[in-house]
Amino acid sequence: MIERYDLIVKLTEEALMDLIARARGSCVTFKARTLAKRAGLSTKPITLTLITHYLSELEAKGLISVWKRGSHGTKYMITRESPLWQEAKKALLEKLAEVRG
C-alpha cells in the first residue's frame, strides 16, 4: 500500500507542476478530482482521499491554501507567491533551456 501512496504522490506532484506550468494568470485553483484526472489516476473515493491527504500536508507546510470548502469538496489555490509556484516555473524554464540546447 505504501508503494501505491508514493506513486499517487508522485503523479499528483507532476499534475500540480503541469497545472502551474500551463497557468495564464497569477493563481490556479483545483480540487483533488481535477488533479486525479490530470494525473491519469482513478477518481474513486480511496484515491481522492489519498490525494486530499497529500494536499492537506502541502497546506500545513504553507505551499498551497484552501480557497473554499463546500459541500462538493475542498477547492485549493496556489498563488504566484507560493514557493511551489516558483519551483514549477523554474523547472519549466530549465526544460526550455535544455530543448534549445
Q: Provide the residue range defining the domain that includes 55.
A: 2-100
> Which domain CATH number covers 94?
1.10.10.10
Q: Which residues pair with 69 in a beta bridge?
A: 74
- Whole-number Å distance between alpha carbons of 91 and 95: 6
pTM (two decimals): 0.86
The segments of the chain whose pLDDT lies below 50 read none
How many domains are there within the chain? 1
Structure confidence at residue 1 (pLDDT): 54
- How crowded is the C-beta side of 46, counted as CA atoms within 13 Å? 3
First vs last Cα of the chain: how many Å apart?
41
Structure confidence at residue 11 (pLDDT): 95
